[in-house]
Structure 1
Amino acid sequence: MYVEMTDNTGQVSQEMQAETVKLLKFAAEFIHLPEHKEMAITYVLNDEIQDINREYRGKDVPTDVVSLEYEPETITFDDAFEMPEALQAELAEFDSFIGELYISIEKAQEQADNYGHSYEREMGFLAVHGFLHINGYDHMVAEDEKVMFALQEEILTAYGLTR
């Protein structure tokens, strides 16, 4: 899996970015995600994530992570149409991008302090949490929450990023 990283804050170390990529690749293998998938992470401050949260979720408050799952449009063809190989390859490229995450480093620090664990653990938690969202997991109902939260804890523990 390819992960594109952008740090709009100028405060996330190269080491932490590299560790996050390593964690997400581990998570991708853990859920058996095909290797050709791609995603993006942008580290932001509270004011920027508040703007994103307002625009995409209708909530005018800063949050810890916003996950934007990419949902490609379904293209159908008449059965008589034989798609050229070049077009097949081009369409497959669109299928590789799964989504993007925005993580507030200020919220991550605040939550790490509140929960009594490391900033690194919180940043890893937020990355895995968002990653699961862009792969179809959710926690809007109790049953789904139980599944998603158990899986994210299982991934973090197996990776060695414990509380």
Structure 2
Amino acid sequence: MQIDFMDEMNLLTTEQADLIQNVLTFASEELKLSDRSECSVTIVTNERIQEINAEYRGIDRPTDVISFAMDDPVEGELMIDFDDEELDLPHHYGDIIISIERAKEQAEEYGHGLYRELGFLAVHGFLHLMGYDHQTPEDEKVMFGLQKELLNAYGLEK
């Protein structure tokens, strides 16, 4: 999987940035995605993610991670069929945006390291791109189960 990575404020260490890219590559391999798959990850501040959260979700507060899946239908927009062999396009799954400040707060709150929290948020956002959600108890059980399985297999147990 090709991961376009942007740390807008240069807030991550090289090791933290590598973790996010490596855990997402691992997850894409575990889910057997094509090598031609793509997604983007952007690291932002609480202020920036609050702006995004307010604009796109109508919730005017910071959050930890937001995902924008390319495969989600949007009224009035043309959908791209990434499986159309004539187009020969890489499948861009979408964008993951992570607040580094919120990740630090949650790592402290939950009593584990920032490394683990960043891995968790990256996988959580990635699974949203794959179509998983946690709106119902049944969906939550499936998504959180897969999330835990991926993190444990990668070596980021809680």
TM-score (norm 2): 0.90
Quick one: which amino acid aligns to residue 79 of structure 2? E
Quick one: which amino acid aligns to residue 131 of structure 1? F
| 8 Å contact from structure 2 (residues 19, 115) kept in 1 | no
Matched, 1:42 2:42: yes
Identity of aligned residues (%): 47
Moved over 2 A (4+): none
| Partner SS state of residue 36, structure 2 | coil
Cα displacement string for residues 53-81 of structure 1 (whole angstroms, at most 9, x for unaligned residues) = 11111111100000000126156xxxxxx
Unaligned runs of 5+ in 2: 72-77
Structure (1 or 2) with the larger CA radius of gyration: 1
Quick one: which amino acid aligns to residue 113 of structure 2? S
Distance in 2 separating the partners of 1:74 and 1:24: 23
Per the alignment, residue 11 of structure 1 pairs with 11
Unaligned runs of 5+ in 1: 76-82
Per the alignment, residue 161 of structure 1 pairs with 156
Cα displacement string for residues 54-111 of structure 1 (whole angstroms, at most 9, x for unaligned residues) = 1111111100000000126156xxxxxxx9x8xx2xx332x51100011000100000
Residues 52-131 of structure 1 mapped to structure 2, 5 A cutoff: 52-71=52-71, 73=79, 88=86, 91-93=87-89, 96-131=91-126
Give the Å deviation of 1:20: 1.3
| Partner SS state of residue 88, structure 2 | helix
Give the Å deviation of 1:124: 0.3
Give the Å deviation of 1:26: 0.6
RMSD of Structure 2 on Structure 1 (CA)? 1.7
Distance in 2 separating the partners of 1:98 and 1:128: 13
Matched, 1:136 2:131: yes
Distance in 1 separating the partners of 2:45 and 2:91: 28
Per the alignment, residue 20 of structure 1 pairs with 20
Distance in 2 separating the partners of 1:113 and 1:2: 31
Distance in 2 separating the partners of 1:74 and 1:6: 24
TM-score (norm 1): 0.87
Larger proportion of helix: 1
Q: Say how many residue pairs are matched.
A: 150
